[in-house]
Structure 1
Amino acid sequence: MHTAPALIIIDMQQGMSRPEAGPRNNPQAEANIAQLLNAWRQAGAPLVHVRHISRTSGSPFWPGQPGVEFQPTLAPLASEQVMEKNVPDAFAHSGLERWLRVRGIEQLLIVGVSTNNSVEATARSAGNLGFHTLVAADACFAFAKVDYAGTPRSADEVHAMALANLDGEYARVVLCADILRQLQ
């Protein structure tokens, strides 16, 4: 069993930084993810890059569109595992669970975007599948959204609610600095 959790980087693609995505929180998320990625690489710890491939033509994540490409500072090395998904949950129809189980990996650190969509969906599945799951609050971000009752919610509110949905139920919410201290 690995001592470090597997770092699961969700959807850090160019399409996530397009202005029409709307207001977001955690402007330091990409820098925090890059710091974690560097630490994982230096430690030789397991990591997986997850990329969303849309099934909807015209989507920024449709194959062949620039939005589907990884952000350059977070792009995987040729030796690193890349999983593609077509739905928010990185475990659905992707082979991610098998990849982790074959390697004896039981603990995950999930980072990326968006907190209330792919990060939350993946963390819920991870918890339900029995993985010891961590979500780095400061290495994820969300976008402003109107709630079901029609009330506009800020990106910070959306992010905080998604983390509240996960913490203690499916995952433990942590901060990058704490994880980096434990990795060393």
Structure 2
Amino acid sequence: MTKALLLIDIQKTFRDGSWGHRNNESAELNAAKLLNKFRQQNDLVIHINHRSENPSSRFFFENAGFEFQDLIMPLNNEIVISKYVNSAFIGTNLKALLDNHKIDTLVIVGLTAPHCVSTTARMAANYGYRTILVEDSTASFAIENYNGKTFSAQEIHDITIATLHDEFAQISSTKDFLVNYHNY
């Protein structure tokens, strides 16, 4: 098995307070632990950012919120891919890159679970990659539905992980993944 780590949208905007209440304050720290392990093992690391050309967007490429968080700052030799939609596969060279590196297993972490993380995980599984989602290396924000009912960040997170489990991804914790790194 040849694996790659996808770090999705771990950008400063998700720490600026504008998104409301979130769960799992340790998501980025856990992602950094995985990043360090992948670096130590010389396995492929791919940083994904969400980029917008719209100056009013939180992801506008000239705003500070667009920048990667310090904990997971890419090294010069690591791949950075900008995406413009939720899936890291749409409009990017991600699939070709993975196939060229003969990657069969994707380990996915990042922000946020119900949006770009789950969309990318679903597409990865649909493309036939063995997909592992490290659930405590991602986070969610509270969401209000069309009727005005608010679902807590933890509820959103739990439901998102449940909808991915077994059908689209194998779910792991950071600790379990690190302990069993070579078995994944």
Indicate the TM-score class for this superposition, using the shorter chain for normalisation. Answer: over 0.9
Q: Provide the identity percentage.
A: 36
The within-5 A match list for 1:12-23 is 12-23=10-21
Farther off after superposition, 26-35 or 147-156:
147-156
Q: Distance in 1 between matches of 2:33 and 2:130?
A: 22
3-state DSSP of counterpart to 2:31: helix
Give the C-alpha shift of residue 67 in structure 1.
Answer: 0.7
- TM-score, normalising length from structure 1? 0.95
Q: Distance in 2 between matches of 1:177 and 1:67?
A: 29
Q: 1:149 to 1:165 in 2, by over 3 A?
A: farther
- TM-score, normalising length from structure 2? 0.95
Q: 1:28 is matched with which residue?
A: 26
Q: Which amino acid aligns with 1:175?
A: S
Q: 2:85 is matched with which residue?
A: 87
Provide, for residues 56-110 of structure 1, a one-character-per-residue CA deviation record: whole Å limited to 9, x for no partner.
3311211211111111121100000111100010010111011000010010010
Q: 1:174 is matched with which residue?
A: 172
The within-5 A match list for 1:23-102 is 23-102=21-100
Q: Distance in 1 between matches of 2:103 and 2:146?
A: 37
Q: Distance in 1 between matches of 2:8 and 2:133?
A: 11
Q: How many residues of Structure 1 are paired with residues of Structure 2 in the alignment?
A: 182
3-state DSSP of counterpart to 2:109: strand
Q: 1:163 is matched with which residue?
A: 161
Q: Which amino acid aligns with 1:104?
A: K
Unaligned runs of 5+ in 1: none
Q: Distance in 1 between matches of 2:160 and 2:124?
A: 15
Give the C-alpha shift of residue 153 in structure 1.
Answer: 0.4
Query: What is the aligned-residue RMSD (CA, Å)?
Result: 1.1
